Amino acid sequence: MKQFAIPNIYRSRLISAIKNKRKLEDKLKKDFTPTLLDFGVLKIYLARHFGFCYGVENAIEIAFRTIEENPGKRIFLLSEMIHNPQVNADLKDNGIEFLQDTYGRQLIPFEELNADDVVIIPAFGTTLQIQDMLQSKGIETEKYNTTCPFVEKVWNRSAQIADKGYSIVVHGKPKHEETRATFSHASSKTATIVINDMQEAIELAKYITGEKNADDFYQEFKGRYSESFDIKKDLVRFGVVNQTTQLATDTQAIADYLKQVVKKYYNLTDATVQEHFADTRDTLCYATNDNQTSVSALLQTDADLAIVVGGYNSSNTSHLVELCDKKLPTYFINSAEKIIAPDEIINCNWQTKEVTVVQNFLPAQKPARILITSGASCPDALVEDVIEKLVGFYASENDIEEMLGSFL
């Protein structure tokens, strides 16, 4: 896989050594067992896959290269580059201004832009409407487009099945940048609707089968469907694609459920189901799959608690917290600074985003057993900081440097 030139401040000698060793031992990436960091009185288990993915490293490389190549120019980002506070803060410190917030609210009017400005499209992509607007101003977009290739893969697959007469159901968070972008691209080709979760898929299915009054659809899913969407016609043939940072298992479950509804309603077989339902499982992001599968394997370890590191508005990170939270006490932090003391941590609720102080989070018994992972937009350096902070609370038999040596 391509190696990206990203700032060293995001790298970690320890994490890089661990990942390189695991890669050499498991070139086909079939072993999802965690990596044990044995500090004696503290045992830390790291997920097999975590941290920056291909799309994130690509975006960061392009952003910092853009800064170097355009001295004296005004440089803007459409919105957050990725959902990580450190990376976004670093970009701001380097002079980049954000045009919108993560929900699409305007921070700087587009009217203030001119052809001499540089505008970077973030890893989530953007809508066709914004892209066309920038190009109409003479602003070059392709050179500074950091859209993740796996997001573009979803767009391309949507276009392919649209050409075959299918409509699109997007599984994603309706307000998320990536979902808005995917909806824009899909709806330019065919009738498109966004659903948030399995419960909405179940309700949508009732319109397919006629169990619910068709007229009620337009209010229930208001703001989620493309112009001129016809509930009586546009879900006769469709496929499901996703916001790539959603739980892959959730997307697959939704697709499988809707497929079975269609199969039963139209009395189809496995051989004929494609007449009404397109197979789109190949759009699921490899990094999202690997990180989530790694967490599932991590949770097979007998442990006292889990720590997930990443931006609080990061969808993929929140889903990792969700998985861990079902099994054992889990703390969602965006930096080692949130670990205040051996008996105090500042935790973010992955659902409400409420931040609270939790007392006595570390176990009293020894050795303490802690699971750690991070989101796809979290620098490895932050994970090492968390490990170092935890090790400092214990009379450990070895330190970070000694642990590093065991992986070199």
Residue 211 annotated in active site: no
Least Cα distance to 18 among 40, 42, 44 occurs for: 44
3-state helix, strand, coil in the chain (%, to 5): 40, 15, 40
> Which pLDDT band, with edges at 50, 70 and 90, does 89 fall under?
very high
> Which pLDDT band, with edges at 50, 70 and 90, does 156 fall under?
very high
CA distance 99 to 201: 34
Strand partners, 127: none
pTM of the prediction? 0.88
User: Between 3.40.1170.20, 3.40.1010.20, 1.10.10.10, 3.40.50.880, what CATH number should domain 152-282 receive?
Assistant: 3.40.1010.20
Q: Which CATH architecture has domain 54-144?
A: 3-Layer(aba) Sandwich (3.40)
Q: Single out the catalytic residue among 57, 80, 177, 178.
A: 178
pLDDT at 382: 97
> Which pLDDT band, with edges at 50, 70 and 90, does 116 fall under?
very high
H-type alpha helices, 26-172? 54-69, 85-93, 128-136, 149-163
pLDDT digits over 194-236, tens only?
Answer: 999 999 999 999 999 999 999 999 999 999 999 999 999 999 9
pLDDT at 248: 82
Q: Evaluate whether 77 touches 98 at the Cβ level (below 8 Å).
A: yes
> Which pLDDT band, with edges at 50, 70 and 90, does 286 fall under?
confident
Query: Are domains 54-144 and 152-282 of this chain identical in fold?
Result: no
CA distances from 3 to 15, 52, 68, 240, 290 (A): 16, 12, 19, 32, 19
H-type alpha helices, 118-235? 128-136, 149-163, 177-187, 198-209, 214-220
CA distance 360 to 93: 36
Q: Evaluate whether 355 touches 294 at the Cβ level (below 8 Å).
A: no
> Does the 8-53+287-405 domain belong in CATH 3.40.1010.20?
yes
Domain boundaries, the chain: 8-53+287-405, 54-144, 152-282
Least Cα distance to 5 among 50, 60, 52, 81 occurs for: 60
> Which pLDDT band, with edges at 50, 70 and 90, does 22 fall under?
very high
pLDDT at 300: 97
pLDDT digits over 121-141, tens only?
Answer: 999 999 999 999 999 999 988
pLDDT at 102: 84
CA distance 320 to 317: 5
DSSP track, 30-63: ---PPEEEE-SSEEEEE-SS-S--HHHHHHHHHH
